[in-house]
Amino acid sequence: MAINHFHLTAKERDKMSFPTNWLLRNHLIKGKVLDFGSGHGTDVKELKKRKFNALEYDPYYHPQFPDEKFDTILCHYVINVLEKEHELRIIMRISKLLAENGVAYICVRRDLVREGYRTHKVHKKTTYQRNVNLPFKSIYKNDFCEIYSLQRFVDRESDASCIFCKPTNKSNYIAESPNLYCIYDAYPVSKGHVLIIPKKHQSDYFKLELNVQKEICEVTNLIKKYLDKKFHPDGYNVGVNIGEVAGQSIFHVHVHVIPRYKGDTPNPKGGVRHVIPDKGSY
């Protein structure tokens, strides 16, 4: 696989980008603002001129990762230049930075005629581009670009009776991906106990679409890295209850990621085998 010099796709501009300008004209930029993947930072400079509390983040040009929450997050043309496997990670990082009732606006290009690796016309180094379609609300589209809006799943309005379709404890929210969201368990069995939950209601893990099952695996890996950094556990149990006889009490799929610590039980041997009492030891 070629090295992707994705940062070379950032354009040096002397005026605000089209998507930020459109969002501004439609009064959608509010509160504390983050430009995620800001490139050289022109949009932030222009927003500051207009008295917005705005911050830029770019892994190459402005690499200090923010440690706060934002009411508005802008992410323009970033996902188009990243390989597919990085898309989910970027969306999760963005969602994790959203304040309660905040909105992220993700803009993607719609004028790409050739996908894959290419040699940058100016810098003569390898970059990458691909078309992107996201499962979020589209608020603007023309032949050049499309703007999606992402609001935290736990902040959306819903009349559902299922507690995972309409979560009430917003403070437990961690992050989300296109088809899943992650929260701390309200009744944790260990420090950092996380639930990974499909946004679409389904009671049976085995009836989930294969792409959602695959996404669960990817999100589990990312949550593990997050928990490693935050809580430094010594091990993990990962599991899902499927059916009443298997202990499922909320009939909306949810995967448990349970950090384990040395000494949290006298004898951990057998692990998940202990779901049937007296059968764990061998």
Question: What are the tens digits of pLDDT across the range 85-125?
Answer: 899 999 999 999 999 999 999 999 999 988 988 887 778 88
Report residues of the chain scoring pLDDT below 70.
Answer: 1-2, 8
Q: What is the model's pLDDT at position 218?
A: 97
H/E segment holding residue 56: strand 53-57
Question: How many CB atoms neighbour CB 146 within 10 A?
Answer: 19
Question: 275 to each of 84, 204, 246, 279, 281, how far by Cα in Å?
Answer: 37, 19, 8, 8, 11
Q: Which of 231, 164, 163 is nearest to 200 (CA)?
A: 164
pLDDT at 169: 93
From the list 27, 232, 254, 256, the catalytic residue is 254
Cα separation of 98 and 68, whole Å?
A: 9
For each of the domains in the chain, give its residue range(s) and CATH number, in order of start: 6-151 (3.40.50.150), 170-275 (3.30.428.10)
Q: How many CB atoms lie within 10 A of CB 37?
A: 26
135: part of which helix (H) or strand (E)? Answer: none
Name residue, tokens 């004209």.
25
What confidence score (pLDDT) does residue 1 get? Answer: 57
Q: Mark whether 5 is an active-site residue.
A: no
User: For position 155, what pLDDT does the model report?
Assistant: 96
Q: How far apart are CA 233 and CA 192, in angstroms?
A: 9
Q: What is the side-by-side order of every strand in the sheet holding 137-141?
A: 53-57, 32-36, 70-76, 98-109, 145-151, 137-141
55 contacts: CB under 8 Å, gap ≥ 6: 32, 33, 34, 35, 44, 66, 70
Task: Write down the pLDDT at residue 8.
Answer: 65
Question: What are the tokens at 137?
Answer: 């609300």
Strand 70-76, strand 98-109: pairing:
parallel
pLDDT, position 2 = 66
CA distance 16 to 46: 6
Instruction: Spell out the alpha helix ranges (H) of the chain.
Output: 18-25, 42-49, 84-96, 210-231
Residue 230 and residue 224: Cα distance in Å, rounded? Answer: 10
Whole-number Å distance between alpha carbons of 240 and 275: 11
Cα(67)–Cα(233) distance, rounded to whole angstroms? Answer: 22
